[in-house]
Amino acid sequence: MVWPYRQAVPEAPLPDGYSLRSLGPREDQEWIRIHRLAVPSFGEAQLEGWLARYRELSLSNGILAAIDDSTGQPVATAGSIANSKQGMFPDGGQLAWVATIPGHQGRGLARALSAQATARLVRDGFRRVFLCTGDDLVPAIGLYRRIGYLPCLYAADQPDRWSRICSQLQVPFEPLRWPTLEEYTRDHS
């Protein structure tokens, strides 16, 4: 999914009872804990490997966390990274690694963190802002869509893929409104 050029990022404040801060390298185990709880199929060693790469690509203070003010514990995370996706998105900035632990889901934390991370990428001048997610994460796709991200039609199977996802989300299938990769990566200076 891609962020449309020159589109304003919506305001999405954290709900009452939560605060925002970045997660530094000394808090890597907190990031791993959030992802293990949010997606139990991810193994700790697997997450450690992904996190090493994530830290290399993340912007300064780019790994955000929502903190439960009553416990002081990080309970959700999202990040802003510099990533061209192997040249697919020249000058690319990516919204990455969004997760909320059970018990805190459904409160707007992922929305707030995703909007903050996207705003950071736009503010820092990334011309092509995107995210990657799996087809099985339909609620997350719905959230990204509501924030303002659009599907990007980058392969022949994309219309069928998005037709299925839109059907599951019960939203209109509008491929003529969505950019192809060629249209999105065209220079819009």
The yes-or-no verdict on residue 187 having pLDDT over 90 is no
Non-local (6+) Cβ contacts of 46 within 8 A are: none
- The reply to whether 115 falls in a domain is yes
**pLDDT > 70: percent of the chain:** 98
Which is nearest to 3 in space by CA: 116, 121, 138, 88? 121
The pTM for the full model equals 0.94
Counting the structural domains of the chain, the total is: 1
- The reply to whether 90 falls in a domain is yes
Q: Give per-residue pLDDT as tens, 11-46.
A: 999 999 999 999 999 999 999 999 999 999 999 999
Measured distance CA(147)–CA(121) in Å, rounded: 14
Q: Give per-residue pLDDT as tens, 41-82.
A: 999 999 999 999 999 999 999 999 999 999 999 999 999 999
Q: Give per-residue pLDDT as tens, 74-126.
A: 999 999 999 999 888 988 999 999 999 999 999 999 999 999 999 999 999 99
- The reply to whether 4 falls in a domain is no
Segments forming the whole domain that contains residue 29:
18-185
The whole-number pLDDT of residue 55 equals: 95
The whole-number pLDDT of residue 147 equals: 96
- The reply to whether 140 falls in a domain is yes
- The reply to whether 5 falls in a domain is no
Which is nearest to 163 in space by CA: 178, 148, 144? 178
- The reply to whether 48 falls in a domain is yes
The whole-number pLDDT of residue 101 equals: 97
Assign residue 36 the CATH number of its domain: 3.40.630.30
Measured distance CA(146)–CA(158) in Å, rounded: 20
Residue 171 Cα to chain centre, angstroms: 20
Q: Give per-residue pLDDT as tens, 145-160.
A: 999 999 999 888 999 9
- The reply to whether 10 falls in a domain is no
- The reply to whether 103 falls in a domain is yes
Residue spans of beta strands (DSSP E) within the chain: 18-22, 58-68, 73-82, 92-100, 128-131
Q: Give per-residue pLDDT as tens, 120-144.
A: 999 999 999 999 998 889 999 999 9
